[in-house]
Structure 1
Amino acid sequence: MTPDQTAAALIAGRTPTEDAMFAYWQATDEGLRPKAETVAILAALSAAPSDPDMMRSFVRYIRQTYPPVALPSAGDAVNIVGTGGGRSTFNISTTAAFVAAAAGVKVLKSGSSAYSSSVGSGDILNALGLARAPSDAFTDAMLSETGLAFAAPQRYAPVCKRLAIAALPLDFKVIGRFVNTLGPLICPYDMRAHVIGVSSLRLFGQLHQIAQLLAVPALLVHSDLGVDEFLSIGTNSWLWAQDEQARLQNASALGLGQGSLDDLAGGDLSHNIAMMTAILKGQGNRTSTETVALNAGAALFAGGVAHDLAQGTRLALECLADGAPFAKLEQAQAFARAAAADLGRVA
């Protein structure tokens, strides 16, 4: 199929082959497709039920055309990120990133502005002065010195920026749902593992298939309450990309207490930052603290610091009890301020 035929098929509600879509992404990346058509394609892909072939074509194109960069300090690092979608909560994975780093695993976190909630990882990091990573050298230095760094939005494959620009003035949260959902699988950096939260069991299975086929080192997690992270209430599913059978983990079996989804509800930017700060200082409510610990524990497990999820969660809870994660936040902010000052003097 030609790109014209592929576009016509998608817009008409038919499903092209994976190879045809791969070629279409290449043509789009080269600037050979019109803006209006790109918007229509994004809308069609985002409105339709997720299709494994269409998702795999996009991930495969990006990973083959723009292979993840291997930073010197990131070989033993982990990412912790969610697909978005599902029920809205405060910024669990962002908070867990500081805890995991404080507990001893390097964290190189990807993320974006809000998709399913009002405040996304990128919004939080920008407010905290941590969103600016001007170069790979900066990211590597921050990761080496603090054990924590963040993938800047501009570091993603150029085709992602092209799609976002084409969608303007439409809200990319809506029109680009297809791309946002696949964000965790197209992280621009190579690392030991990605802990990927998925909001639905259907998507959980689809992303597992893609990660397995494309050899993405991923630990996929899902809460049966419809949240794209582990929760300290209810039952969770988790699965390594190379494995075939998902495992169930009841939170109570790890000694975690009962609570309510209301304890995990987010709000506006100031509310979410206040909630995150309280947790990092060891002053959060029990449900939010244990949920963050469980997700940080998954990162410690994926990073080889803990031999299983239970040990990782215990290490995270111990770390939270003494306020070390808040000190990690302050360390990261100090590094970012010093780097910004250095750049200002050079300019």
Structure 2
Amino acid sequence: MRGEASESQMGGFLTALKLRGVDGNAHVIAALAKEALNNALTPNIDRSGCGVIADIVGTGGDGWNTFNISTTSSLVAAAAGLCMTKHGSRASSSNCGSADLLESLGLELDYISPADVPMLLNEYKFCFLFSSTFHPAMRYLAKTRRDLGFPTPFNILGPLMNPCVPDRAIIGVYNKSLGPVMAEALKILGRRNYAVVCGDENLDEISIAGDTHVWHLRETGEIDYYTINPEHNFGVPTHPLSEATGSSLEDNQKILKRLLGNTVLESDIAIRDFVLVNTGFLLYIAGKAKTMREGAEIAQRTIESGKVLKLLENFAQATQALKTEELSRKAR
């Protein structure tokens, strides 16, 4: 994390972690996440003014290439009044990462610094925390991780490394066996009111196709396990996952514009419902909705009101202004 290890030392360390199977050891995962956070750039947020700070994020790696659900849900939740610090990066295991999608819509994510976060959250209830900006120490590991060519425990650390340390969060994992491990790691890190989720298809989001497994880390530190279902818990119909894929950046961009502009096509309905379920559960976990069904209803009303599209446009303009200021400062 300080750039003092050689590439061969880092490769040996990561390989040893993999061979020892520590991606199934909550204590090791928590220790790695804590060290990464200790080396992160941390925004100075006035939490009394923000209220509950939340995030919704997945580990990736599930192989389903679904639409950017967590990114869209974070925007919808922010427009509904929840303070969202969306931690993300460009695509590594999917066709289109959260940063890729937002940048294609005019957001200048590289120009959001830790000092800008409090202002953006206060103004928009939303801020994107670009992993490469807020975790500069991770650059030392980047080449070694690429060269190794296999997943290491660092592949699942992303959701634990939000430098704002949200009060509430939904964290998706790509395999059901990882659910209780991730929940225990969160408990060790002192997090509370978090939900780790995994769709029955080993999906790192709440599934629109059927049941989703939940490991709910309560305020008391107890971890409750239960399953949820779109129809039963949210009043939303199920759809095959094949109807909720995003095959490319261009497709995802078009779908998001239609969704937020209330011009959805028949082919977009599964994705819209997918967003409602995930946003609804986030609003429920964060205390903005009394039930999951109410959360989905709030999400639908928020999208139909046009507030989400307006938020996205205004936030894009704010980041463009930050870019202009930065380039002007460098030119002086």
Q: TM-score range by the shorter chain?
A: 0.7 to 0.9
Alignment CA distance shift 1:115-1:46 (3 Å): farther
CA RMSD of aligned residues (A): 2.4
Please give the secondary structure, in 2, of the residue aligned with 1:110: strand
> How much does 1:160 deviate?
1.8
Alignment CA distance shift 1:237-1:51 (3 Å): closer
Match of 2:7 among 24, 35, 58: 35
> How much does 1:223 deviate?
1.1
Match of 2:276 among 285, 293, 302: 293
CA distance in 1, matches of 2:150, 2:117: 30
1:201 — aligned with what? 176
Question: Do 1:68 and 1:190's aligned partners in 2 also have CA atoms closer than 8 Å?
Answer: no
Question: Do 1:88 and 1:227's aligned partners in 2 also have CA atoms closer than 8 Å?
Answer: no
CA distance in 1, matches of 2:103, 2:24: 33
Summarize the alignment of residues 131-150 of structure 1 with structure 2, pairs less than 5 Å apart. 131-150=109-128
Match of 1:239 among 198, 215, 220: 215
Question: Do 1:198 and 1:204's aligned partners in 2 also have CA atoms closer than 8 Å?
Answer: yes
2:158 — aligned with what? 183
> How much does 1:287 deviate?
1.4
Question: Do 1:70 and 1:190's aligned partners in 2 also have CA atoms closer than 8 Å?
Answer: no
Question: Do 1:300 and 1:312's aligned partners in 2 also have CA atoms closer than 8 Å?
Answer: yes
Summarize the alignment of residues 150-161 of structure 1 with structure 2, pairs less than 5 Å apart. 150-161=128-139
Question: Do 1:79 and 1:108's aligned partners in 2 also have CA atoms closer than 8 Å?
Answer: yes
Alignment CA distance shift 1:137-1:57 (3 Å): closer
CA distance in 2, matches of 1:30, 1:318: 47
Q: Which deviates more from structure 2 when the two are superposed, residues 185-194 or residues 152-161?
A: 152-161
State yes or no: 1:257 paired with 2:222: no
Match of 1:267 among 247, 256, 268: 247
Q: Which deviates more from structure 2 when the two are superposed, residues 262-271 or residues 40-49?
A: 40-49
> How much does 1:305 deviate?
1.6
> How much does 1:175 deviate?
4.3
2:85 — aligned with what? 108
Alignment CA distance shift 1:30-1:102 (3 Å): closer
Match of 1:192 among 158, 167, 174: 167
Alignment CA distance shift 1:336-1:60 (3 Å): closer
CA distance in 1, matches of 2:58, 2:44: 22
1:12 — aligned with what? none
Match of 1:342 among 317, 325, 331: 325
The CA deviation string for residues 113-152 of structure 1, in whole angstroms up to 9 with x for no partner, is 2233121112222323332244212122111111110112
Percentage identity across paired residues of the two chains? 25
State yes or no: 1:126 paired with 2:103: yes
> How much does 1:64 deviate?
5.1
State yes or no: 1:59 paired with 2:36: no
Match of 1:324 among 303, 307, 326: 307
| Number of aligned residue pairs | 316
Please give the secondary structure, in 1, of the residue aligned with 2:196: strand
Q: Which deviates more from structure 2 when the two are superposed, residues 126-135 or residues 139-148?
A: 126-135
TM-score by length of 1: 0.83
Question: Do 1:235 and 1:250's aligned partners in 2 also have CA atoms closer than 8 Å?
Answer: yes
The CA deviation string for residues 255-280 of structure 1, in whole angstroms up to 9 with x for no partner, is 11121111111112111111222222
> How much does 1:184 deviate?
0.6
CA distance in 1, matches of 2:226, 2:17: 30
CA distance in 1, matches of 2:101, 2:257: 11
> How much does 1:37 deviate?
2.6
1:8 — aligned with what? none
Please give the secondary structure, in 1, of the residue aligned with 2:224: coil
Gaps of 5+ in 2: none
> How much does 1:65 deviate?
5.8
1:5 — aligned with what? none
CA distance in 2, matches of 1:40, 1:114: 26
Please give the secondary structure, in 2, of the residue aligned with 1:209: helix
CA distance in 1, matches of 2:51, 2:15: 37
The CA deviation string for residues 226-282 of structure 1, in whole angstroms up to 9 with x for no partner, is 211112220112233233221211211121112111111111211111122222223
Question: Do 1:68 and 1:187's aligned partners in 2 also have CA atoms closer than 8 Å?
Answer: no
Summarize the alignment of residues 212-251 of structure 1 with structure 2, pairs less than 5 Å apart. 212-217=187-192, 218-241=194-217, 242-251=221-230
Question: Do 1:42 and 1:175's aligned partners in 2 also have CA atoms closer than 8 Å?
Answer: no
Alignment CA distance shift 1:148-1:294 (3 Å): same
What code does the residue aligned with 1:255 have?
G
Stretches of 4+ moved more than 6 A in 1?
none
CA distance in 2, matches of 1:226, 1:152: 26
Q: Which deviates more from structure 2 when the two are superposed, residues 61-70 or residues 333-342?
A: 61-70
Please give the secondary structure, in 1, of the residue aligned with 2:157: helix
What code does the residue aligned with 1:220 have?
V
